[in-house]
Amino acid sequence: MAKLTNPESLAADVQQAFETLRTEHELRSVTDEESGTGIDRLATGVYGFTYSPAVENFPLFKERDLRCYEGHKLADGSVFLLGFLTAAEKQTADDASGTGKIHLFAEPKDDATELVRIPMKRVKHSVEHSQRGNNGLEIELG
């Protein structure tokens, strides 16, 4: 698969935080053969990267690229989208019964420095905005 861009390296502490989550949940990277497959069709226990986080059955790719979100499919089949929120929006996301809008970024940006895992079962609606802007992926939690 051709690379569209060369991703900038994530800071070492950010990369370590992702690695810790992958290890805690015993996830493996999607294989070359699985790369590009919609998450619903993938085996459990995998992680990968997506350009299309607002798509219900978003594809996961093996290689991280610039401004890609990381997706996890756990052993129990639950799906999570990882990204960064502001501290205030993290409180909304951490409240399991909470509702509201959050703005998730693929990489740390300005005040959005809190790494979170958003369970896709909580996403009622999402709207993709340009990652160059300050809106990130707008998600309505329910």
How do residues 55-70 score in pLDDT, each as one tens digit? 889 999 999 887 899 9
- Domain span including residue 135: 12-141
Give me the amino acid identity at 51. Y
* pTM attached to this predicted model: 0.89
C-alpha span between 19 and 2 (Å, rounded): 25
Distance separating alpha carbons of residues 13 and 115, to the nearest angstrom: 11
Residue 1 has pLDDT above 50, yes or no: no
How much is the pLDDT for 3? 52
Question: Is 7 inside a domain boundary?
Answer: no
Residue with more model confidence, 16 or 134 = 16
Helix runs in 1-142, H state only:
12-24, 87-94
Q: Is residue 5 part of a domain?
A: no
- How far apart are the two ends of the chain, measured CA to CA in Å? 36
The pLDDT value recorded for residue 40 is 96
Taking all residues of the chain, what is their mean pLDDT, rounded to a whole number?
Answer: 90
pLDDT of residue 56: 87
Residue 64 half-sphere exposure toward CB, CA atoms < 13 A: 15
35, amino acid identity: S
Number of separate domains in the chain:
1
Asked if residue 4 belongs to a domain, the reply is: no
Q: What share of the chain is helix, strand, coil (3-state, %, to 5)?
A: 20, 35, 45
Sequence-separated (6 or more) residues with CB below 8 Å from residue 32: 62
Mean pLDDT of 91-113: 90
Residue 83 falls within a domain, yes or no? yes
Confidence (pLDDT) at 6: 55
| Domain assignment of residue 117, yes or no | yes
